Structure 1
Amino acid sequence: MEQDNLQHSCNNIIELIRFDERGLIYRKYENFLNWFGMGGRRKFEVIEQIDTHFKKNNISIWKGRKKLNSVADFKRGETITLRYNGHKRKETTMNVGKEKVSNNDAGTISVVNEDSGIRLYKHQEEAIQKLHSQIRRSNGNIFSGLLVLPTGGGKTLTAAYWLAQNYLAEGKKVLWIAHRHELLEQAKATFHERLAYKDVFGKKSSFNYRIISGIHDKPVNIKPTDDLVISSKDSLNSGFDHLYNNWLKGQDEVFLVIDEAHHATAKTYKKLIEKIGEKVSKFKILGLTATPFRTAENEQGALQKVFTNDIIYKVDLRTLIARGILSEPVFEEIQTDFDMTSQLTEKQLDNLKYFDIESIGKDVADSIAKNSQRNAVIVNQYLKEKLRYKQTLVFALNVNNAIALKSLFNDRGIKADFVVSAIKDRITGSNISQQENKEKIDQFRRGDIEVLINVNILTEGTDLPEVQTIFLARPTISSILMTQMIGRGLRGLKAGGTEKAFIVSFIDDWKDKVSWVNPEQLIVEEHIDNTKDSGERNKHLTRLISLQKIEEFALLANNLIDEATRKKLTSLDFIERIPLGIYHFSLLKHLVDEELEKNCEILIYNNIEQSYIDFMNGLPFFFKHQSLSERDDLTENDLNDLEKKVEELFFFGCEKYPGYSEQDIKDVLLFYAQTGEIPKYIEFQNRENFNVTRIAQDIYSKDLRQSEAMEFKNELWESNETEWKAFFGYKKEYFLNEVDLAIRKVSNPELFKKSSILPTDTKELRPLEKLSMHKIREFNPQYWKYLSDKIYEKNRDKDGYYVSATGNFRSKNKLDFQIDHIIPISYHGLTVEENLQLLTRSENGLKGAGEL
């Protein structure tokens, strides 16, 4: 790093600290280092220079309440606090401890003596009526139910509106919990900015609130006078004594709201619910979610245990679109062909997995943001589809990206401007004021600006019904941020918006290094309905699976894979590359101060189906055997070790391709640790509709001419019966390539012949049937797997339970049994299906002792 660059960075941060009214600035250690563009090079030499600059400028370095001597004393994940000591006279410092400062995380909200102007939609009124009647029917007893509204349906407003009228206005206490900082602040803003009016709160003139989390206020500061406590669950679990002694004690009725309620099965949520339930006699719970599951015992037993009153009210995305409340989202992906990884170190890529796009460092971010090739793709896409896209809102990487895009749009004759948040203004030195932002937004509303580019603003709370198109020119790992960005374009006709909303993602090449949120996948995942035999469920599942398969289609179509992988792919019939179903669940990844939600979809194919069944059934035994039953905080090292054990126990001998992924195993383990529940499996009932081999056989058997075959394929592509377009991501070339490959396989089978995984003959000096199962596993794991599966299947009853040979024990968990010879090998018994049985470990022990 050049000396002048270091000096410039130090001067910037010093000025920023002085600008802060408290003389403090907080930075995560990684983000702090990235500020200086260090990237791990000459680390300690640069830190020494930074320390020197700070000392010269009278700035001290703190870790919590402990003053440290150097930046080098901090570790990754810790927070650095910098304090500007200034030049105050000694006598003025004597009373610093008595000085009072504003607490932005707690206060009193005054109710305005005017109407709020809120006009609830039909579904919100229906939801409130249902909630009101169900609560009244509970007669003051414990109540726990779910409110299910899709993205853009107004879950927060609906719940907060009812609670404000029926609880806060009546002097009763409300506890609102969530797992992300954004959700906490969003809830507070709803009560404050939208509901604090007389038509909602009636005669109540004010109410007290407090936000609790790792970056907000602490449980120790909760007061009995607080009406509304908005908190992360982890903060309340760790500070429950303060919550009870300062707030719950003496209360006989408290209403708890759980945002993103599909996470309520986690052990930490259940622990908090149980503790509150023990202290409050009239305890009521409302869960909010966009995921339209049912809580029947055979489908979502875990949620049924938490929300015993089931779903209070539910409306799906399609209904709100049909009513004109939400726009029909049309998703498009544009490849920029820009390699994002070329300028990033492995450390920076690793940071991106947890800290989002800002964590790569200012210099690198700027070089990406100003990239002319990437920016030209964005502007050219708008120009090409200007008549269709109309009023467009662009979410940019950073301020420099916004400036570069504005200039390029203007040069091409497009009226464009940008707005940025105040925080970014301060750091970058931009002189954009809030008033200027407001004026530009008003111009956009009037149509004087065609394209509005924004950074860290306009994600929520701003009314922009004119938006026809959203350009996602920045990736994110946050499903909440992605939902907020998409939401700016989903206002339907009856809500003053548009019939359709175009969501255009600009896809950079990250070499699969970071799991960015896919906007279409986010919407599809949220609206999978597990209702049995649901046609809508199958459509959603078709699209969700297709999103997982598009990359594979693209690799084959564009010859972007090595020969070995291509041979594996093409040797399989197409139907074998289509999953049987999917394990679909979400888990929480713990960061320093909050949790990151990760949606997981595990595609299950023929080759791994039985191993996954065994794995899922064996999870309770496995966790007990590994002494993990009480843990929900598995580290990455824990997961690495456990994945190897799982592979050895459950997946040994099975063909791993396609479908096996080490990360999938780790996700299942972490989900089970958090919830104690086995992920739910959704069968892909439309699978046979996508049997490309049948199409190929039809074309080949009819001996169609080339023009006739092409006409046949075109007609099939346009048909809605099998939803080819959705499955192939609306890429006709992928569909045609797969059909042509299948035709070649039908007409020239010898070119695609694959070897069987089961041996039909053996040239061993000793036949396999004379070896023990242990030895067979060593010499021929595929045959061992085949024989093991046969024995278990042979001894399974009609209810799916494995039954021991004695008939005294049955279980779905293979780990409860051992495969045993009926006639021992020592008495010339053979290791063949007819001579093998299932016994429990204890039964096998008794047999060995001659007692069985």
Structure 2
Amino acid sequence: MTKSFSWEKFSIDFIKSIVFSGKTAEDKRAPIMIDDKDFLIPFIDDICTYPNASFVRKYRREIEDYFLDESNSLISIVKKLENVNYSDVKFTGNNKEMLDKLKSKRLTQTILDAYISEIRLQGSYYDDEESIFKMPKIINLKESKVDDVPLYSYQKNAVQALKNYFISDDKKSGILVMPTGSGKTRTSVYFLLKEMISRGYQVVWIAHRHMLIEQTAQNFYKFSPLIKTENEDKNIFRMICISGKHARAKAMTKEDDLIISSVQSLNKNNLVYIPNILREKVMIIVDEAHHTSAPSYRKIINKIREKVPAAKLLGLTATPCRLTDEATRGLMKIFDNQVIYSISMSKLIADGVLAKPNYINIETNIDIDTIIDIDERAYIKKWGEMPASLLTKVAKTNKRNEIIIDEYMKNRKKYGKTIIFALNAIHCIALSDELNKRGIKCEYIYCLNKDNEEIIERFKNSERKDSIDVLVNINMLTEGSDIPDIQTVFLTRPTSSDTLLMQMVGRGMRGKSQGGTETVNIIDFCDKWNSITRWLNPKFLLDSGTGMIEDDMEYDYTKCETIPVAMVRDLIKGIKYIGASIESRNVVLPIGWYDLKYTKILVFQNQVEGYKKLKKSIDLQVKNRVVKSYITSKNFTVNHALYSFFSNFGIMPNKQDLNMIFNYIYEEEDFPQFFEFEQRDKIDPYKIAKEIINDPVLNYSKDEKIDEIYNQNKSII
């Protein structure tokens, strides 16, 4: 059992106060203000990996205002000081009075020690379960069997694109963009084993969570024989995992083909080990690459490239965009502004790889403005997010919790395996307890819970006797968690982060062909905010990101869509606030797609009439043989089309989609073909095979039956 420390256990308010403090050096601050703990933790790690006297002296005010303000920590310190009869510090039961007393005291060694002890206690945790990758692994490839590793066509395309980029063209840096649930890790591991490690490259894989390290290591370990398909002479494969739960950085050697490490474990004092263990050919992988802007990541990359200037760099992410254009540009610059391969969520939904989202918004009618105090309002104005104190108030609102619980209970059969993203630990426990009282098999996880991994396994494996149907968490399952058969996602927490929203929704997007579900229910709980609406206003989320193309910009359709978060924005556009009843909801479903040959454009239920009007207009120009001049005329623009054909139909297509459709019409002089999901389902290979095998009265050959199905569905096939 090993004891470790993590900033994950601290509130987002406290982490922000340190990262954005005026006392923090400018090069150590995050480039943008964001309510994303995963994004900010690498920055606070870079400021201080393990709290000491220097940290407490420098950030005393932040500690008192944002850490001791949490009652348990404050009471603990006051009790300690009272026990040693320290001056006039006494437990009174009045938190403000006790905190003011501490603030008035000089920072003596006694108070300093009490602060350090409490901070370390808050961030400490124990690793009970020993990983099979705790020690370096040596795999005998000579005796290992090469099994087939099936890839989807888009994964094969990604592997080929990576090979062309890094091997054929010998490029240096780039990013792979694949939506949550599409198999980024499997794809990249396949490429690295078969194309890079087989050619003598040493791979350094950087992640930020133990769970990601474990999952990645399992993939490399399982698929390692792929190396032999390209290099029969390589008989030994060496891999090592570096983190608080695995081996130490000083255990790395030049003989290691693969190093999978947490970003924390290669930073600070451990950077000195890096130059001595590097080979002549090195490839760096950054998992969840949207974190690469943090100094801790850049230090590792720079340290490797100091010794091996030609070291290659690959970033993996579902969400390359940040909250601002400037931050996105900064991130992409690290990867030479190159997206090597990307595939849109819309295309994967149309192809059945990802589940069709069924978006439902529930109005709670809880008026949040009535419970916000002056300090909380000031905090929201400064940081643009809810402070911990307000999160706690909302979490304790019984009426709101009843609405969440009742929504699940009324639709228990429909919602099935459900993951709930809660506000904070209090909210996790409250929702879980209430669901258990109602007879639901439910558990909760959050950073202070030592049984998290065991609980996740019970949620994953429905065959276990102690399996659970509902899992409540804060933000622990937003990245890297592989639970394919989630049927419903409950969003009970507001956020202004596109990335976090995308990751929460993405937890349930694994499609049927990947062991997931055909559809996923996305249930969004919306409160009343009269004066502060930033994170609940769908228009803000729609307009704040990148990727929208203006009328006067050309769209290069040879490049794939690079920002899959647009799919989530399309869903969010469907939110409506109608009436006062909590039953009021607006269901927004995609029903099919337009096939543009090089991509697919998803079509929602309430866009159909708009597209019909647009098609009628285009068909007339096709008939008159003036379609090209019509499309390029000054009077026919994307904005004109949006408001002429779609203004009364709820969700509008985004401008990028319409630009691509206009390009198609211009080139083909015809409107693209529309396909419904029902049509696609008719040619599902699994369903067809099952139908043929189980047909007791099939009077002709299976080949004839298949030919018949093919001829009836040629266009969609």
Aligned pair partner of 1:208 in 223, 240, 252:
240
Residue aligning to 1:108: 136
Q: 1:195 is paired with a residue of what secondary structure?
A: helix
Does 36-45 or 107-116 show the bigger shift?
Answer: 36-45
Q: Distance in 1 between matches of 2:484 and 2:637?
A: 39
Q: 1:153 is paired with a residue of what secondary structure?
A: coil
Residue aligning to 1:191: 216
Q: Distance in 1 between matches of 2:145 and 2:573?
A: 54
TM-aligned CA deviation for residue 323 of structure 1: 1.5
TM-score (norm 2): 0.53
Q: 1:498 is paired with a residue of what secondary structure?
A: coil
Q: Would the alpha carbon gap of residues 540 and 104 (structure 1) be closer, same or farther in structure 2, given more than 3 Å must change?
A: closer
Flag the structure with more relative contact order, 1 or 2, with Cα contacts below 8 A and sequence separation at least 6: 2
Tell me if structure 2 keeps the 8 A contact 1:210–1:226. no
1:418 aligns with 2:446: no
The C-alpha deviation readout for 1:802-827, integer Å capped at 9, x for no partner, is xxxxxxxxxxxxxxxxxxxxxxxxxx
Q: Distance in 2 between matches of 1:49 and 1:379?
A: 38
AA of the residue aligned to 1:162: F
Q: Distance in 1 between matches of 2:510 and 2:206?
A: 27
Percentage of identical aligned residues: 28
What is the aligned-residue RMSD (CA, Å)?
6.1
Residue aligning to 2:42: none
Q: 1:497 is paired with a residue of what secondary structure?
A: coil
Aligned pair partner of 2:79 in 32, 49, 64:
49
Q: How does 1:476-555 map to 2 (within 5 A)?
A: 482-509=501-528, 528=547, 532-533=554-555
Q: Would the alpha carbon gap of residues 516 and 118 (structure 1) be closer, same or farther in structure 2, given more than 3 Å must change?
A: farther
Q: Distance in 2 between matches of 1:450 and 1:487?
A: 18
1:80 aligns with 2:130: no
Q: Would the alpha carbon gap of residues 445 and 515 (structure 1) be closer, same or farther in structure 2, given more than 3 Å must change?
A: farther
Q: How does 1:549-588 map to 2 (within 5 A)?
A: none
Tell me if structure 2 keeps the 8 A contact 1:352–1:514. no
Q: How does 1:364-443 map to 2 (within 5 A)?
A: 368-383=394-409, 389-397=415-423, 401-402=427-428, 404-406=430-432, 408-409=434-435, 416-421=440-445, 424-425=448-449, 438-439=457-458, 442-443=461-462
AA of the residue aligned to 2:422: A
Q: Distance in 1 between matches of 2:174 and 2:489?
A: 35
Tell me if structure 1 keeps the 8 A contact 2:180–2:507. no
Aligned pair partner of 2:159 in 113, 123, 128:
128
Q: Distance in 1 between matches of 2:417 and 2:189?
A: 32
Q: Distance in 2 between matches of 1:272 and 1:425?
A: 31
Q: How does 1:707-746 map to 2 (within 5 A)?
A: 721-722=646-647, 724-727=649-652
Q: Distance in 1 between matches of 2:523 and 2:385?
A: 20
TM-aligned CA deviation for residue 369 of structure 1: 3.6
Q: Distance in 2 between matches of 1:468 and 1:44?
A: 41
AA of the residue aligned to 1:120: L
Tell me if structure 1 keeps the 8 A contact 2:498–2:541. yes
Residue aligning to 2:626: none
Q: Distance in 1 between matches of 2:131 and 2:511?
A: 39
TM-aligned CA deviation for residue 285 of structure 1: 2.6
Residue aligning to 1:70: 111
TM-aligned CA deviation for residue 315 of structure 1: 1.9
Q: 2:120 is paired with a residue of what secondary structure?
A: strand
Tell me if structure 1 keeps the 8 A contact 2:353–2:511. yes
Residue aligning to 2:184: 155
Q: Distance in 2 between matches of 1:337 and 1:368?
A: 13
Q: Distance in 2 between matches of 1:685 and 1:450?
A: 49
Q: Would the alpha carbon gap of residues 68 and 152 (structure 1) be closer, same or farther in structure 2, given more than 3 Å must change?
A: farther
Q: Distance in 1 between matches of 2:437 and 2:243?
A: 46
Q: Distance in 1 between matches of 2:79 and 2:648?
A: 62
Tell me if structure 2 keeps the 8 A contact 1:397–1:474. yes
Tell me if structure 2 keeps the 8 A contact 1:169–1:204. no
Structure 2: any 5+ residue segments left out of the alignment?
16-61, 87-106, 123-129, 229-234, 322-327, 581-635, 655-717
Q: Distance in 2 between matches of 1:199 and 1:315?
A: 28
The C-alpha deviation readout for 1:766-822, integer Å capped at 9, x for no partner, is xxxxxxxxxxxxxxxxxxxxxxxxxxxxxxxxxxxxxxxxxxxxxxxxxxxxxxxxx
Tell me if structure 1 keeps the 8 A contact 2:574–2:650. no
Q: Would the alpha carbon gap of residues 105 and 195 (structure 1) be closer, same or farther in structure 2, given more than 3 Å must change?
A: closer
Q: Would the alpha carbon gap of residues 228 and 689 (structure 1) be closer, same or farther in structure 2, given more than 3 Å must change?
A: same
Q: How does 1:664-679 map to 2 (within 5 A)?
A: none
Tell me if structure 1 keeps the 8 A contact 2:496–2:541. no
Q: How does 1:277-426 map to 2 (within 5 A)?
A: 277=305, 279-280=307-308, 282-290=310-318, 310-339=338-367, 342=371, 346=375, 350=379, 360=388, 368-383=394-409, 389-397=415-423, 401-402=427-428, 404-406=430-432, 408-409=434-435, 416-421=440-445, 424-425=448-449
TM-aligned CA deviation for residue 374 of structure 1: 0.7
Tell me if structure 1 keeps the 8 A contact 2:526–2:536. no
Residue aligning to 2:713: none
Aligned pair partner of 2:280 in 237, 240, 252:
252
Does 126-135 or 396-405 show the bigger shift?
Answer: 396-405
Residue aligning to 1:172: 201
Tell me if structure 1 keeps the 8 A contact 2:646–2:652. no
Q: Would the alpha carbon gap of residues 374 and 159 (structure 1) be closer, same or farther in structure 2, given more than 3 Å must change?
A: same
AA of the residue aligned to 1:687: N
Tell me if structure 1 keeps the 8 A contact 2:318–2:564. no
Tell me if structure 2 keeps the 8 A contact 1:444–1:452. no
Tell me if structure 2 keeps the 8 A contact 1:148–1:288. yes
Q: How does 1:586-605 map to 2 (within 5 A)?
A: none
Tell me if structure 2 keeps the 8 A contact 1:110–1:196. no
Count of equivalent residues: 503
Tell me if structure 2 keeps the 8 A contact 1:542–1:727. no
Tell me if structure 2 keeps the 8 A contact 1:521–1:547. no
TM-aligned CA deviation for residue 345 of structure 1: 7.4
Q: Distance in 2 between matches of 1:365 and 1:309?
A: 38
Tell me if structure 2 keeps the 8 A contact 1:291–1:528. no
TM-aligned CA deviation for residue 335 of structure 1: 2.9
The C-alpha deviation readout for 1:587-643, integer Å capped at 9, x for no partner, is xxxxxxxxxxxxxxxxxxxxxxxxxxxxxxxxxxxxxxxxxxxxxxxxxxxxxxxxx
Q: Would the alpha carbon gap of residues 354 and 124 (structure 1) be closer, same or farther in structure 2, given more than 3 Å must change?
A: farther
Q: Would the alpha carbon gap of residues 118 and 516 (structure 1) be closer, same or farther in structure 2, given more than 3 Å must change?
A: farther
Tell me if structure 1 keeps the 8 A contact 2:243–2:261. yes
AA of the residue aligned to 1:190: Q
TM-aligned CA deviation for residue 375 of structure 1: 1.4
TM-score (norm 1): 0.46
The C-alpha deviation readout for 1:309-367, integer Å capped at 9, x for no partner, is 9443332222211221111223333232335572777379849998998x837xx8666
Tell me if structure 2 keeps the 8 A contact 1:528–1:541. no
The C-alpha deviation readout for 1:4-34, integer Å capped at 9, x for no partner, is xxxxxxxxxxxxxxxx864989875959979
Q: Would the alpha carbon gap of residues 354 and 441 (structure 1) be closer, same or farther in structure 2, given more than 3 Å must change?
A: farther
Q: Would the alpha carbon gap of residues 685 and 394 (structure 1) be closer, same or farther in structure 2, given more than 3 Å must change?
A: farther
Larger Rg: 1
Tell me if structure 1 keeps the 8 A contact 2:137–2:240. yes
Tell me if structure 2 keeps the 8 A contact 1:145–1:311. yes
Tell me if structure 2 keeps the 8 A contact 1:173–1:227. yes
Q: Would the alpha carbon gap of residues 447 and 419 (structure 1) be closer, same or farther in structure 2, given more than 3 Å must change?
A: closer
TM-aligned CA deviation for residue 376 of structure 1: 1.7
